[in-house]
């Protein structure tokens, strides 16, 4: 092994073995999904097990779930769409936070869209402040938009807020200068001060009869605004008092008349994601839920939030439909191409006993090139070694301890490092 590779492996192993969030106090191994025994690091934090992927994920035993921390240091290359994991090792990801220990909030997301899965129930203060995405899917599990969560998101033009939402906190959408219209869900009761301050292009907002409190300067600087509301509601009286234009709506059900903001065709790689962000018109339609169907899920899957995942090369069609009885639908042509080669960021070998164990290599490598060869180098060959043969990963565990495997691809004269993952060898229990 070359000296530079040895040095890199040594540094990586040192990092893993000295972070209390990852290892047991007795360095016996990494988290294997068993939470019956809790772990303590040197800093006294119980069970702070860390995984890196799209963000940094920490296991919290008090909630039996993972939290995701967004930080620039551990994010992958900039992608068209950024998606938070909904689970790690079978445990839900319930919190999304911005790591305040970072020097700046320049974590790499995407220019097109951000996906927050429905498992997320807790958003951090300022979590998306100043981020440049154009669209976002927000978890259905959210009941509040925290303080300044979307402050300064200048590229967002329209948002669909979750139905369970009850509160919009102070300055939540402050200075979203391109936000044009938004429907406040029917369970929201309070909009705190300056929530939409300086949204200078906000022209339409629907305020339901459930809103009973609108604090000071909520719409300061929104000079083009018209409030859509019911007559004699709190929102109507507020608008009249503050000389804001109104458009009165009846209490009758309003059906969708159009599905908007859908591309005619999209291209996505295998093992990659594309996010659809359709809206219905009118923006205040009563039922805005849409349904998604893939003509061939073996080529491209789509969930009921518009998240498309490429499965294999080919073409298919996704149909997007209204669910309010208006019988509207639109079709999106999907072309799936082969995605880039990558290491599954959550593939790790935990609590592996001595001996040789075989794995499907495609569980470790995404989009493997059948014409290339792959090699695995161990940071400590006395603990474990591995090799890939005919699509099978063979790992030989030799003695108790921890090591790191680095995976490289050789294609002709070109050799590229794909990534690395840890391994922990334990003694067989008697």
In DSSP notation, 261-298 reads S--SEEEEEBT-EEE---EEESTT-S---EEEEES-TT
pLDDT in tens, 375-422: 999 999 999 999 988 888 999 999 998 888 899 998 888 888 888 887
Under 8 Å between Cβ of 283 and 205: no
Classify residue 422 by its DSSP letter: E
Give the C-alpha separation, 44 to 177, whole Å. 44
Mean pLDDT, residues 341-367 taken together: 81
pLDDT, tens digit, for every residue of 26-70? 222 333 333 333 333 333 333 344 444 556 778 888 888 888 887
pLDDT at 37: 34
Distant-in-sequence, close-in-space partners of 245: CB < 8 Å, separation ≥ 6: 225, 226, 227, 239
Task: Please state whether beta strands 167-168 and 144-145 pair in parallel, antiparallel, or not at all (unpaired).
Answer: parallel
Domains of the chain are 49-249 (3.80.10.10), 258-336 (2.60.40.1080), 350-426 (2.60.40.1080)
Residue 15 has pLDDT above 90, yes or no: no
pLDDT of residue 44: 34
pLDDT band for position 80 (cuts 50, 70, 90): confident
- Beta bridge partners of residue 316, listed in sequence order: 334
428 against 127, higher pLDDT: 127
What integer is the mean pLDDT of 218-245?
Answer: 97
pLDDT at 69: 82
At 286-334, the pLDDT tens digits run 999 999 999 999 999 999 999 999 999 999 999 999 999 999 999 999 9
CB-based contact 293:321 (threshold 8 Å)? yes
SS3 5: helix
Is pTM beyond 0.85? Reply is no
């Amino acid at each position: 092994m070359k000296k530079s590779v040895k040095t890199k492996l040594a540094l990586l192993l040192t990092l893993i073995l000295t972070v209390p969030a990852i290892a047991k106090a007795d360095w016996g191994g990494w988290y294997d999904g068993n939470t019956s025994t809790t772990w303590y690091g040197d800093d006294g934090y119980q069970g702070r097990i860390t995984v890196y992927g799209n963000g940094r994920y920490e296991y919290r035993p008090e909630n039996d779930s993972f939290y995701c921390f967004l930080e620039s240091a551990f994010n992958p290359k900039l992608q068209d769409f950024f998606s938070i994991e909904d689970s790690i090792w079978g445990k839900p990801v319930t919190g999304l936070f911005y790591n305040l220990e970072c020097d700046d909030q320049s974590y790499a997301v995407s220019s097109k869209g951000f996906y927050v899965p429905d498992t997320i129930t807790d958003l951090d203060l300022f979590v998306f402040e100043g981020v440049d995405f154009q669209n976002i899917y927000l978890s259905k599990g959210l009941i509040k938009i925290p303080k300044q969560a979307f402050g300064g998101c200048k590229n967002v033009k329209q948002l669909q807020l979750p139905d369970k939402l009850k509160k919009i906190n102070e300055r939540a959408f402050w200075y979203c200068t391109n936000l044009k219209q938004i429907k406040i869900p029917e369970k929201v009761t309070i909009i705190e001060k300056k929530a939409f301050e300086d949204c200078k292009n906000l022209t339409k907002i629907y305020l339901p009869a459930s809103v009973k409190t609108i604090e000071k300067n909520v719409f300061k600087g929104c000079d083009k605004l018209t409030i859509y509301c019911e007559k004699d509601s709190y929102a109507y009286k507020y608008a009249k008092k503050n000389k804001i234009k109104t458009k009165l709506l009846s209490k009758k059900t309003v059906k969708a008349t159009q599905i908007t903001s859908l591309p005619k065709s999209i291209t996505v790689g295998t093992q990659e994601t594309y996010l659809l962000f359709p809206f219905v018109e009118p923006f205040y339609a009563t039922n805005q839920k849409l349904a998604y169907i893939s003509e061939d899920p073996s080529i491209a899957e789509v969930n009921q939030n518009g998240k498309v995942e490429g499965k294999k090369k080919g073409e298919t069609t996704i149909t997007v439909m209204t669910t309010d009885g208006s019988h509207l639908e639109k079709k999106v042509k999907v072309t799936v191409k082969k995605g880039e080669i990558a290491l599954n960021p959550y593939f790790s070998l935990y609590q592996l006993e001595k001996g040789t164990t075989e794995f499907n290599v495609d569980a470790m490598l995404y989009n493997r090139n059948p014409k290339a060869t792959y090699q695995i180098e161990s940071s400590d060959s006395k603990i474990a070694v591995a090799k890939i043969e005919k699509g099978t990963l063979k790992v030989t565990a030799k003695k108790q301890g921890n090591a790191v495997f680095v995976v490289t691809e050789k294609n002709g004269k070109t050799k590229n490092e794909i990534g690395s993952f840890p391994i922990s060898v334990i003694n067989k229990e008697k």
